[in-house]
Amino acid sequence: MLEAVLGLITGPLGALLAGIVAVLVAWATGRRSGATVERQKREAQDAKDYQATRGRIDDALRKHDGADSREWLRERGRKR
């Protein structure tokens, strides 16, 4: 009985199972590497977005002083 089972595993059924396992492993590896690449692209884009936002914040803070803020408040008060 054991010899018959071993014969099937090492025979055509074993080859079929090995092929299926190889395809599944290749698919899983491809998905994992694709997810890694996508995560790296997203992180790079997030870093660029942060850098751009941080630059706009820094420019806004440098361009305004107390006089600019008072003028802005006066104009805003006139609009209401």
Neighbours of 9 (CB within 10 A): 13
Total tally of structural domains belonging to the chain: 1
Contact 14, 8 (CB under 8 A): yes
26-73: pLDDT as tens digits: 999 999 999 999 999 999 999 999 999 998 888 776 666 778 778 888
Torsion of CA 23, 28, 30, 36, to 10 degrees: -170
Distance CA 31, CA 23 (A): 12
Give, for 1, the enclosing helix (H) or strand (E): none
Domain interval for residue 10 = 2-79
Whether the predicted pLDDT of 1 surpasses 70: no
Measured CA to CA, the distance from residue 16 to residue 36 in angstroms comes to 30
